Amino acid sequence: MNWQEVNFDWNQVRAFLATAEEGSFSGAARVLSTTQPTITRQIAGLESSLNLLLFERSTRGLTMTVAGQQLFEHVREMGSAASRISMVAQTFNNEVSGEVSITAVDTLCVNFVTEVIKRLKKSAPGLTLRIFSSDQVQDLKHRDADIAIRHVRPTQGSLVAKLVGNWTASFYAHQSYLDQIGFRPGSKDHENIEIIGPSDPVQFIEVCKGLGLNLRLDQFTLPCTSALVAHEMLRAGLGVSVTADVIAKSEPGLVRLWPHVPSIDFPVWLVTHQELHTSKKIRVVFDMLEQVLKEA
| The predicted structure's pLDDT at residue 1 | 42
Residues making up the chain, counted from first to last: 296
Residue 54: CB atoms within 10 A of its CB come to 21
Q: Is 178 helix (H, G, I), strand (E, B) or coil?
A: helix
Alpha-carbon distance 201 to 223, whole Å? 8
> Strands 159-174 and 254-256: what pairing?
antiparallel
Residue 128, H or E segment = strand 127-133
pLDDT at 108: 94
Q: Is 35 helix (H, G, I), strand (E, B) or coil?
A: coil
Per-residue confidence in pLDDT tens, the chain, 296 aa = 444 555 567 788 889 888 988 889 988 898 888 899 999 999 898 888 888 898 988 877 888 899 888 888 888 877 776 666 666 666 555 568 889 999 999 999 999 999 999 999 999 999 999 998 876 655 666 667 889 999 888 877 678 889 999 999 999 999 999 999 998 877 888 888 999 988 888 989 998 999 989 999 999 999 988 889 999 999 999 999 999 999 999 898 999 999 889 999 999 999 998 766 678 888 899 999 999 999 98
C-alpha–C-alpha distance, residues 23 and 155, integer Å = 28
Q: Do residues 15 and 43 touch, judged by C-beta distance below 8 A?
A: yes
